[in-house]
Amino acid sequence: MKKLIVFFGVAIVLISCQTNDKKSFEINQIFEDYYQESLELYPLNATSQGDNRYNDFLPNDLTDDLGIKKKHSTQVIKDN
């Protein structure tokens, strides 16, 4: 009896773990794009997280360009 209960428990867990790969891929791509853009906008955060691509950059908070890029990245998330 215990083996039967364990079998059904494992079967339910495995069935519930199935995902829609297309939707999962799309949402993961949105999050990955947002994360990569945030690393580019905040190079000090990228460096502190171990990403060495932006070690030679400092954030430019003095121009309007950063604000435009921030609005663009948040708009992309809202549109999806």
Q: pTM for the complete prediction?
A: 0.57
The mean predicted confidence, pLDDT, of the chain is 78
Q: Given this model, what pLDDT does residue 71 score? A: 66
Residue 37 CB partners (closer than 8 Å, separation 6+): 69, 73
Work out the end-to-end distance of the chain between its first and last CA atoms, rounded to an integer number of angstroms. 48
Q: Is 62 helix (H, G, I), strand (E, B) or coil?
A: coil
**For range 14-34, the mean pLDDT:** 79
Residue 1 is encoded by which pair of tokens? 């009896």
pLDDT band, very low/low/confident/very high, at 50 (cuts 50, 70, 90) = very high
